[in-house]
Amino acid sequence: MPKRSVLSARDRRVGRKGRATDGRRMIDFSDIPESSGEQLRIMRRVGRPPLGKTARQLVAIRLDPAVLNALRREAKRRDVGYQTLINEVLARYTARNIA
């Protein structure tokens, strides 16, 4: 029996043999005027600003759903982000137990 091909979501979008096209190659930016000084002054940075002297490092961890839900509830009660709360809890723990 031949092996059935399982397509990923990307493969389904692109098609079996086709390649994904980079849409940015087709956009002509040459007719966009330069931004004025006033426009540049009112623009804001996109993305998260660094907190403190250095930017925080992005990591991925797996947490039990019950633990994550409890942290999210506590963060909501304190009116802070849950990732901020996780950082505070870990910082307190490392200060007391590791450092």
pLDDT in tens, 66-84: 999 999 999 999 999 999 9
Nearest to 89 by CA among 72, 51, 64, 53: 72
**pLDDT score recorded for residue 12:** 63
- Please indicate, yes or no, if residue 69 is contained in any of the structural domains: yes
- Please indicate, yes or no, if residue 97 is contained in any of the structural domains: yes
**pLDDT score recorded for residue 54:** 79
- Please indicate, yes or no, if residue 67 is contained in any of the structural domains: yes
Regions of the chain short of the pLDDT cut 50: none
- Please indicate, yes or no, if residue 87 is contained in any of the structural domains: yes
**pLDDT score recorded for residue 47:** 74
- CB of 72 within 8 A of CB of 80? no
- Please indicate, yes or no, if residue 91 is contained in any of the structural domains: yes
Our count of domains for the chain comes to 1
**pLDDT score recorded for residue 58:** 86
Q: Tell me which residue has tokens 């079996």.
A: 16
Domain that holds residue 83: 60-99
**pLDDT score recorded for residue 28:** 84
- Please indicate, yes or no, if residue 94 is contained in any of the structural domains: yes
**pLDDT score recorded for residue 44:** 80
**pLDDT score recorded for residue 95:** 95
Which of the 8 DSSP states describes residue 30?
T
**pLDDT score recorded for residue 8:** 65
Cα gap 70→86, rounded to integer Å: 11
